[in-house]
């Protein structure tokens, strides 16, 4: 057996997701359940249990209690990650032939939902931070310019999507953006996969949740930003803009007919944890410890960036002339297992686990990393992607994905049309969407990205055989 033994092994300090840190921060009720005779919890949708789409049973009761506590109309637990719920949500509020306004840092699951629903993604660019190569969240004036730049011809817009916060933890108050999009008549779906803890409302310095901001639909990944097991997530719905029956039908299309009782229980436990005083105390403490750790490490000389989520510790080795990918390769075998290596940065997810001793380990490892890379100069600023403020694929997404294709050497791809997503993972944000044309500037930028990302960007690209 190749897989099972690995799960027993020490893989190093978990500075990756799920945020429960290999079990150490699971809610006590989940720990107790998992210590019961193995497999006891693996139940089908028995009448007493039901499932996320049933009106009766323990799951329905639990979802109702969670929605009441959050002060929203409805919620649904998900066992196929934020992915499954984002896709169901988008399909539930759009009809084939419509368009969806979404930022360029939308997760690939949303692009895939556009494919499934025959929707046109109207992709808007974001402010770019060249020193680190991260997108920043759009603010009100940015969104106003996006709305002013919508192409003259596009399918009717059914909905708008926002991502709050970003993977690295940047987030502004989303309320003004949500209001301005709703003012256009569009329901707003917010991918808050990385910000479940914003909704716990324990820390005034965290950005507000999109739920407080009045978003119609919000998806939380409970494994990324709460204490859920991998694949747990929740979809919240509030207000009157969304047809709940349509949403429920859409969830039914994408949901397994055998949802795992263990994962559903984990959804409940993770959400309940933050309604309990122990859970709230734990979150407050972790936020405080994370802020202290960041300050201490800075005093120790580590180049750490500031984002809006203290639970994301973003190291900037690029400033010292080392790429985030190289730093990760070096730290991984030394037991420091980060979540998100990128060309200029390395993001550690502190999660909800106790990270005692991390300061010492990171300080020592950083010094050794510097010593191991004696010849270095700070990275130059990174180039922003040369994108129009708003764009739609030139060939409809659903058509481009299915059209006859060929593999083209990247260097020779100028003028071709992409047939696939080009998407380093993580963060799972597409650099290129099927149906988009690679003009000279975009190709030049992609070639540069390939030098930075290495093999995560393939040398050959799937493109349409016939140029439209
Ligand atoms: C912003 C964002 N949304 C959605 C997802 C999908 O979440 P999951 O992998 O839990 O399905 C991710 C995953 O990385 C993400 O970063």
- CB of 170 sitting under 6 A from ligand 1: no
Question: Does the CB atom of residue 393 touch ligand 1 within 6 A?
Answer: no
- Predicted confidence (pLDDT) at residue 435 exceeds the cutoff of 80: yes
Pocket lining: 19 vs ligand 1, CB cutoff 6 Å? no
What is the rounded radius of gyration, in angstroms, for the C-alpha atoms of the chain?
22
From the CB of 167, is ligand 1 less than 6 Å away?
A: yes
The pLDDT of residue 68 is 98
Instruction: Show the 3-state SS of the chain.
Output: CCCHHHHHCCCCEECCCCCCCCCCCCCHHHHHHHHCCCCCCCCCCCCCCCCCCCCCCHHHHHHHHHHHHHCCCEEEEECCHHHHHHHHHHHHHCCCCCEEEEECCCCHHHHHHHHHHCCEEEEECCCEECCCCEECCCCHHHHHHHHHCCCCCCCCEEEEEEECCCCCCCCCCCHHHHHHHHHCCCCEEEECCCCHHHHHCCCCCCCCCCCCCCCCEEEEEHHHHCCCCCCCEEEEECCCCCCHHHHHHHHHHHCCCCCCHHHHHHHHHHHHHCCCHHHHHHHHHHHHHHHHHHHHHHHCCCCEECCCCCCEEEECHHHHCCCHHHHHHHHHHHCEECCEECCCCEEEECCCCCCCCHHHHHHHHHHHHHHHCCCCCCCCCCCCCCCCCEECCCCCHHHHHHCCEEEEEHHHCCCCEECCCECCCCCCCCCECCCCECCHHHHHHHHHHHHHHHHHCCCEEEEECCCC
Contact by Cβ (8 Å): 323, 379:
yes
Which of 16, 17, 81 is the pocket-test mutation for ligand 1 (most atoms within 8 Å of CB)?
Answer: 81
Q: What proportions of the chain, in percent to the nearest 5, are helix, strand and coil?
A: 40, 15, 45
pLDDT of residue 455: 86
CA distances from 446 to 106, 413, 432, 443 (A): 18, 10, 9, 5
Closest residue by Cα to atom 10, ligand 1, is 81
Centroid of ligand 1 to alpha carbon of 467 (angstroms): 33
* pLDDT tens readout for residues 125-184: 999 999 999 999 999 999 999 999 999 999 999 999 999 999 999 999 999 999 999 999
Q: Which atom of ligand 1 is nearest to 233's Cα?
A: 10
Q: Domain residues of the chain, as ranges?
A: 28-273, 289-372, 393-464
Pairing, β 217-221 against β 74-78: unpaired
Q: Any idea which fold 28-273 has?
A: 3.40.640
Instruction: Output 248 or 468, whichever has higher pLDDT.
Output: 248
Asked whether 450 lines ligand 1 (CB < 6 A), one says: no
Percent of the chain surpassing pLDDT 90:
94
- Average confidence (pLDDT) over 209-223: 98
pLDDT at residue 468, as a whole number: 53
381 within ligand 1 shell (Cβ under 6 A): no
428 within ligand 1 shell (Cβ under 6 A): yes
- Which residue has tokens 């100069």? 377
78 CB within 6 A, ligand 1? no
Average pLDDT on 7-30 reads 95
Atom number, ligand 1, closest to the C-alpha of residue 167: 16
pLDDT in tens, 253-309: 999 999 999 999 999 999 999 999 999 999 999 999 999 999 999 999 999 999 999
pLDDT at residue 60, as a whole number: 98
Report which of 464, 385, 390, 305 is spatially closest to residue 120, judged by C-alpha positions. Answer: 390
pLDDT of residue 456: 86
**Percent of the residues in the chain that have a pLDDT greater than 70, as a whole number:** 100
- Does the pLDDT of residue 185 top 60, yes or no? yes
Q: Is 196 in the pocket of ligand 1 (CB under 6 A)?
A: no
Q: How far apart are the CA of 376 and the centre of ligand 1, in A? A: 34
| The pLDDT of residue 467 | 63
Examine residue 165 and say whether the peptide bond preceding it is cis (omega within 30 degrees of 0): yes
CATH pick for 289-372 out of 3.40.50.150, 1.50.10.10, 3.90.1150.150, 3.10.20.740? 3.90.1150.150
What does the DSSP assignment read for 402-444?
HS-EEEEEGGG-TT-BB-S-B--TTTT--SB-TT-B--HHHHH
Identify the band that residue 425 occupies on the pLDDT scale cut at 50, 70 and 90.
confident
Which residue of 17, 82, 104, 218 sits with most ligand 1 atoms within 8 Å of its CB, as the best mutation to test the pocket? Answer: 82
pLDDT in tens, 378-413: 999 999 999 999 999 999 999 999 999 999 999 999
> Atom 15, ligand 1: which residue's CA is nearest?
107
Q: What is the mean pLDDT of residues 333-361?
A: 96
From the CB of 163, is ligand 1 less than 6 Å away? yes
Indicate whether residue 342 lines ligand 1 (CB < 6 A): no
CATH number of 393-464: 3.90.100.10
Examine the pLDDT at 49 and tell me if it is beyond 90: yes
Q: What is the mean pLDDT of the chain?
A: 96
């Amino acid at each position: 057996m190749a897989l099972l033994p690995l799960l027993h092994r020490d893989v190093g300090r978990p500075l990756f997701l799920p945020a429960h840190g290999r079990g150490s921060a699971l809610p006590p009720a989940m720990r107790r359940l998992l210590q019961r005779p193995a497999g006891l919890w693996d139940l089908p949708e028995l009448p007493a249990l039901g499932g996320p789409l049933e009106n009766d049973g323990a799951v329905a009761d639990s979802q109702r209690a969670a929605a009441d506590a959050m002060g929203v109309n409805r919620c649904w637990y998900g066992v196929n990650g934020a992915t499954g719920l984002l896709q169901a949500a988008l399909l539930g509020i759009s009809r084939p032939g419509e368009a969806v306004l979404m930022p360029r840092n939308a997760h690939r699951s949303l692009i895939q939902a556009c494919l499934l629903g025959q929707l046109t993604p109207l992709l808007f660019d974001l402010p770019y931070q060249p020193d680190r190569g991260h997108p920043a969240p759009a603010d009100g004036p940015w969104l106003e310019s996006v709305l002013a730049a919508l192409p003259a011809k596009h399918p009717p817009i059914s909905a708008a999507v926002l991502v709050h916060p970003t993977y690295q933890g940047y987030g502004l108050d989303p309320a003004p953006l949500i209001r301005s999009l709703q003012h256009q008549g569009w329901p707003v779906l917010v991918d808050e996969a990385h910000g479940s803890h914003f909704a716990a409302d324990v820390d005034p310095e965290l950005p507000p949740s999109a739920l407080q901001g009045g978003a119609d639909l919000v998806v939380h990944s409970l494994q990324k930003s709460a204490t859920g097991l991998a694949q747990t997530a929740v979809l919240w719905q509030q207000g009157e803009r969304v047809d709940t029956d349509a949403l429920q039908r859409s969830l039914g299309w994408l949901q397994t007919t055998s949802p795992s009782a263990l994962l559903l229980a984990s959804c409940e436990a993770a959400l309940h944890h933050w309604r309990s005083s122990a859970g709230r105390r734990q979150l407050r403490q972790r936020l405080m410890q994370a802020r202290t750790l960041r300050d201490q490490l800075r005093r120790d000389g580590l180049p750490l960036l500031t984002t809006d989520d203290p639970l994301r510790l973003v190291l900037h080795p690029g400033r010292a002339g080392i790429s985030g990918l190289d730093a990760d390769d070096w730290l991984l075998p030394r037991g420091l297992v980060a979540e998100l290596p990128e060309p200029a940065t390395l993001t550690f997810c502190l999660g909800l686990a106790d990270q005692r001793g991390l300061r010492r380990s990171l300080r020592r490892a950083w010094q050794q990393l510097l010593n191991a890379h004696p010849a270095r100069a700070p990275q130059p600023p990174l180039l922003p992607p040369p994108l129009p403020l708003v764009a739609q694929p030139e060939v409809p997404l659903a058509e481009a994905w299915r059209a006859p294709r060929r593999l083209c050497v990247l260097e020779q791809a100028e003028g071709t049309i992409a047939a696939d997503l080009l998407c380093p993972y993580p963060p799972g944000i597409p650099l290129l969407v099927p149906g988009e044309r690679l003009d000279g500037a975009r190709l030049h930028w992609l070639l540069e990205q390939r030098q930075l990302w290495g093999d995560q960007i393939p040398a050959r690209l799937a493109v349409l055989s016939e140029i439209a």
